[in-house]
Amino acid sequence: MVKIVVVGSYIVDLMSRTPHMPKPGETVLGGPFQMGPGGKGGNQAVAAARQGAQVTMVTKVGNDLFGEDAIRNFKQESIQTTYITKDEKEATGAALIAVDQHSENMIVVSLGACGKLTKEDVQQASEAFREADMILVQLETSIEAIQATIELANELTKPVVLNPAPYQKVDAATLSKVTFITPNETEASLLTGISVHDEKTAQAAAIKLYNAGISNVIITLGKKGCYVYDGNNQGRLIEGFAIDAVDSTGAGDAFNGGFSTFIASGMSIDEAVRKANAVAALSVTKVGTSVAMPTNEEVETFLETGF
């Protein structure tokens, strides 16, 4: 079984449907309301676990009811919780999510405890790092923890997938130690200064990131799929899957959890991206984030039958 360490955020999702996104000063009657486990780190951990990985989660929660729920939810997904610590001062992170009738979303995130994850918290998980086949990290926690994660993985010669979301500035030396980077169009634009909006501009951004020392660049382009560049050719577009979306929240997390599992299991980058595209596609057919992550059986059936 593939072993993955996920270092990142745990955030409670507080989601409501809305007929339209509110304008400044406007109150909109929405519903229904749904509360559930989330955060990019938590979502990606669940996505990887449901694709068959043995996952260890490294994060920080508050000493509150949401923190207790976090640990209980991870255990229900068979995710190792040894390195989840509790902060006595900060509350567990929370996200306020509005999803409109077109399945587009707006999110306000309060990181809370997971934003206080430290270098020491990461280093305490060094044994899990040593046993891991892949390290997966995002930017939804402290830069200190992100840098410590990449440094420790580098010391132990472990491959790293960095999902640079939500965008924060990371120094060039740290980025050069990343094995796979998976920005979306917005994040790729911020990382490179190139406005990414189609395959041609994705290629230019991917080459710039590759030349900065990142050996595998995967730019996610929503329904269009992913642009992949690994230096072996001019890059290529791995097409996505046409599917009716109910809630697009968490699709990127589904992709990253799936991709990390598949690439660590020995798939080629193109095979891993294609299957991860299927994980992402299925995730948007359900409401919610972690709860919407498909199982490996569902993904295999979808790839075989299209349903």
**Cα torsion 213, 58, 272, 157: sign:** positive
65 is in an annotated binding site: no
| Residues 204 and 229: beta-carbon distance below 8 Å | no
**23 annotated as belonging to a binding site for a ligand:** no
- Check whether 225 is labelled as a binding-site residue: yes
d(CA 287, CA 174): 35
Does the annotation place 252 within a ligand binding site? yes
Residue 96 C-alpha from the chain's centroid: 18
Ligand-binding annotation for 42, yes or no, is yes
DSSP element (H, E) containing 89: none
| Pairwise CA distance, residues 228 & 181, whole Å | 10
Strand partners, 195: none
User: Binding residue per annotation — 13?
Assistant: yes
110 is in an annotated binding site: no
Sign of CA dihedral 232, 262, 134, 122: positive
Q: Is 171 annotated as a binding residue?
A: no
The reply to whether omega before 166 is within 30° of 0 (cis) is yes
> Is 40 part of any known ligand binding site?
yes
What is the C-alpha to C-alpha distance for residues 256 and 135, in angstroms, rounded to an integer?
11
CB atoms under 10 Å from CB of 201, counted, come to: 18
Q: Is 184 annotated as a binding residue?
A: yes
Place of tokens 């989601």: 15
Q: CA triplet 293, 297, 302: central angle to 5 degrees?
A: 85
* 253 marked as part of a ligand binding site: yes
258 assigned binding-site residue: no
Q: Which residues are tagged catalytic? A: 253
- Do residues 281 and 258 make contact, with C-beta atoms less than 8 angstroms apart? no
75 is in an annotated binding site: no
Check whether 283 is labelled as a binding-site residue.
yes
Distances (CA, A) of 83 to 56, 114, 166, 260: 8, 12, 23, 20
30 is known to lie in a ligand binding site: no
Residue with token string 């043995």: 54
Q: Does the annotation list 277 as a binding residue?
A: yes
Helix then strand count (H, E) for the chain reads 11, 13
249 is in an annotated binding site: yes
Determine whether the annotation assigns residue 223 to a binding site: yes
Detail the residues annotated as belonging to a binding site for K(+): 247, 249, 283, 286, 288
Detail the residues annotated as belonging to a binding site: 11-13, 39-43, 140, 184, 220-225, 247, 249, 252-253, 277, 283, 286, 288
Detail the residues annotated as belonging to a binding site for ATP: 184, 220-225, 252-253, 277
Detail the residues annotated as belonging to a binding site for substrate: 11-13, 39-43, 140, 253
